[in-house]
Amino acid sequence: MKDEHSFQLLVQRYTDGVASAQEVESLNQRLRSDAEARRLFLQILNLDSALDALLVCGASYDSREEVLPVVQQVPVGRRRLWGYCAALAASLLIAVVCISQLAATKKFATVDNAAGVENLSTGMRLGAESYAIEAGSVELITARGARVAIEAPAYFYFESEQRLHLTRGRLAADVPPSAKGFTIITPNGKVIDLGTKFGVNMPDRGEAEIHVFQGEVIAQTSAGGKPKSLRDGEAFRMKLGAESLLGFRSAAFIHPGEVTSLQAGLAAGQRGRSESILEELRRDPALIALLDFEKPSPKQGVYRMVQGRWPGSQAAEFVNVGDHMKLDVGGEHLWPQLTLAAWVRLDHLGEPYQSLLHTDDWNKKNDGQVHWMVNRHTTMRLALQGNTMAPGIVNHEGFPDSRTGVRNELGRWVHLAVVYDADKKTARFYLNGKFDNEMQQAIAHPARLGPAQIGNWNQNDRKLSGRVDELLILGRDMNDDEIEALFAAGNPYR
């Protein structure tokens, strides 16, 4: 709808009782000639509630003269029209006043769970107020049963139980048939549910993204473009005048249900345990690097900073081909033992390789250059330049891999670790703190680090789709108990 903001201002002047005769006429003309204006007006006022409210509140208005603007003398032939306008204006004003009273008290949703959100708590009921959450995640249930998970940083407010404005933030909605038509409104456009599960990402700068997990939605830009139907597995970016499809990333969202596990982890004191073990690691003389991605140490590269595992913490997010973070550590030594570990939230699988850490000089044939990744089989791989596999090991691609894939961990924080020992000629893999696989090498060079990239490696087939939090590089071999303790202390879930 064009001029939606000016239309809302016009209605607001009715609520204030200051609308002029010209504005009354303007409003009436809009309502008579513009179906979208009538629809918006009825939705704003929640017509069903308006009718009930009129019965309750109408008696408080003694005469139309009290609320109508002063109407000057008009030709007799127009008096009937003015009478109609005045009657309509009075009805509108009464409805607006009553609905304004209702809007101040009516609740549109309830907080089902909140993880690390200071100004929202479980059981809190939300009306038309605006909410800004700077940290954490919250799960809401609307009056009609739609479940909505919102991740900080976010700014939102309900216009009604079926219309939610998202000015900033990341949202996932699970909408039952009873709430069909649930609508998310962003600065770039709106998304209308047709019975489905979907996500909306409204970054601080840029255009809104819509991702359909299941079912169907209708997306339309605020420029009034043609409504676009999106179905399972499709994603759409609302750009004014240039709508575009984009890569589907269902796992990029905190889904309804995950907030409960995150809240339980916080309540169990996991964040404190994580900080304690990180402090121990910072004192480890073998520490090469520990990236927690908190300020003031942003690295060079192309990536987004988003919320990490803890409310208010940060992680690096890699979305597009070419996204990467530069790193240059450990290049002054050769490392006979090396431990690599990171918390990773993968959005998408199916790429040939997803880069966790790739040193830049692999192609210079420097023995020991390190490439750590998730491969096309969704397992971890640790490749060192010049190394060879031990005879008899069945591995058709020639590199040490983990045994268990990460497919079941898609859309959740998962802890990945590998311990390399050139003296023992072994690579040991760990998934969520548990030993997974060991592979023997015939030739095992000491590891060589230096200039490297996280999230990509100058090639389109190495793009990581997801977030990385707390990447650890240690110049010694951690044992099984240490890896398990590292995972247990940093696990955000319960």
Stretch 315-320: mean pLDDT: 90
With residue 14 as reference, give the H or E element that holds it: helix 4-16
Residue whose C-alpha is closest to residue 52's, from 7, 14, 106: 106
**Tokens 């830009």 sit at which residue?**
221
pLDDT for residue 238 is more than 50: yes
Picking from 250, 206, 432, the residue whose alpha carbon sits closest to that of residue 347 is 250
Per-residue model confidence (pLDDT) at position 48: 37
Residues in the chain: 494
3-state helix, strand, coil in the chain (%, to 5): 25, 35, 35
Q: Per the structure block, which two tokens stand in for 394?
A: 């069945």
- Per-residue model confidence as pLDDT tens digits over 214-228: 999 999 888 777 888
How high is the pLDDT of residue 34?
A: 77
| Predicted model pTM | 0.77
- In terms of Cα–Cα distance, which of 158, 208, 163, 213 is closest to 186? 208
- Does residue 87 surpass a pLDDT of 90? no
> What is the average pLDDT across 90-94?
59
Q: Residue 185: is its pLDDT beyond 50?
A: yes
User: Are the C-beta atoms of 106 and 127 separated by less than 8 Å?
Assistant: yes
- Region of poorest pLDDT, from 76-80, 168-172, 239-243, 386-390: 76-80
- 181 burial class (0-12, 13-18, 19+ CB within 10 angstroms)? middle
Q: Tens digit of pLDDT for each residue in 105-122? A: 789 999 999 999 999 999
Mean pLDDT of the chain: 84
Bond preceding residue 296 cis, omega within 30 of 0:
yes
State the DSSP H helix or E strand holding residue 456, giving kind and residue range, or none if neither: none
pLDDT band at 74 (very low <50, low <70, confident <90, very high): very low
Q: Tell me the average pLDDT across 296-304.
A: 80
What confidence tens digit (pLDDT) does each residue in 1-25 have? 667 767 777 776 554 444 555 665 6
Residue appearing with tokens 């002054």: 332
Per the model's pLDDT, the better-predicted residue between 27 and 60 turns out to be 27
At 324, is the pLDDT very low, low, confident or very high (cuts 50, 70, 90)? very high
- pLDDT confidence tier of residue 241, bands split at 50, 70 and 90: low
Answer yes or no: is pLDDT of 265 > 80: yes
- How far the first Cα of the chain sits from its last, in Å, is 45
Angle CA 417–434–294, to nearest 5: 40
Residue pair 304/467 in contact (Cβ under 8 Å)? The answer is: no
The more confidently predicted of residues 26 and 183 is: 183
Q: In which element (H, E) is residue 491 found? A: none
Assess whether pLDDT exceeds 90 at residue 41. Answer: no
User: Tokens representing 168?
Assistant: 């900033």
pLDDT bucket at 168, cuts 50 / 70 / 90:
very high
